[in-house]
Amino acid sequence: MVSPTFIFYFTLTLFLFLNVSKAQNKASNKTILVDKSGKGQFTSVQKAIDSIPSNNKQWTTILVNAGVYKEKVTIVKDKQYIILKGKDRLSTVIEWDDSGNSLKSSTFLLYAPNFMARDITFKNTYNLVLEDDVVKKITWAPAALLYADKASFYGCGFIGIQDTLTDLQGRHFFYNCYIEGAVDFIWGFGQSLYQNSEIHVKSKDIGVWKAFITAQGRESDSQTSGFVFKYCKVTGTGPAYLGRAYKSHSTVVYYQSSFDNIIAPEGWNIMRQAGNEKYITYAEVQCKGPGANLSKRVKWEKTLSSGELQKFIDRKLFLNQDNWIEEQLIHV
């Protein structure tokens, strides 16, 4: 039998070891300051990123002072281990106006794994401001494109109209974020958990009369991708569909989330996958609010067993088997 004294000293030693390790990790970080007025090393976010050497192995924090940075920002594949941190998502904004391509038109493009963003907003201003009360053609205009594994976002904003968050590929974690759009504004083949976040539908005021929140692209049972919304809230204007199937095995789960009275009664839609309903996993579990009435939902909405549900809502089981989220957090 292990004595209480041994347990105490073992726990204390482990605590000290972890905190020393964390301090060492933080001490080894490099910090770069971006400030529009010239009070930092750079006035441009892209120039700060470009200053990081190729094949970087050292966690580097880019602190972005408050301001609106009108630029397109790309993090290429060999610029790993970057933390992009603003003051808060309302005062620190990276924005650009581009449209017409679901990939290339994005304001922010991430191709490097091992990335974290905190307290910053990515915005595509196309169609957000009407010109002479005229709405431009609704088309692809992403605010952010994620084509990399192990990317996390805390307190961030993503604002656009169509394809706002191109969650294209890899494992991604979003916490306390704000995502706004109207047409397929969270889409892609990503394996992502959205937790304690607000999903805001902006449709009627820009001429969109039927909104689609997600267009997830899972294509087979062997894939593990899907979008999970846990403890989120859906607000804005409707009618809005929780998702429309982009590929044959499209997978989206809402768990213990709240819906304003904007959700279309049938809840879900199909883009071009009619006939594949039995393969699609669309589910709502323990959701609430006036938009959460299930009585008129599509008949092919799934009812998940407790085991199936756990594989989606348990962060470790769904996307964090190698503890990459915790490994990132020790460097903040």
- Positions marked catalytic: 163, 184
Cα gap 56→149, rounded to integer Å: 16
Please list, in sequence order, all residues whose beta carbon lies within 8 angstroms of the beta carbon of residue 159, skipping any fewer than 6 positions away: 121, 122, 123, 124, 128, 143, 178, 180, 181
DSSP code of residue 278: G
Cα gap 294→231, rounded to integer Å: 18
Strand 60-64 to 82-85 pairing:
parallel
Contact 68, 95 (CB under 8 A): yes
Cα gap 194→228, rounded to integer Å: 6
Cα gap 36→98, rounded to integer Å: 22
Cα gap 243→185, rounded to integer Å: 10
For residue 37, give the nearest of 72, 73, 67, 70 by alpha carbon: 67
Give the C-alpha distances (Å, rounded to integers) separating 306 from 20, 135, 285, 312. Answer: 40, 46, 10, 10
For residue 257, give the nearest of 316, 312, 183, 323 by alpha carbon: 312
Map tokens 């904003």 to a residue: 157
For residue 62, give the nearest of 31, 89, 106, 37 by alpha carbon: 31
For residue 142, give the nearest of 91, 103, 113 by alpha carbon: 103
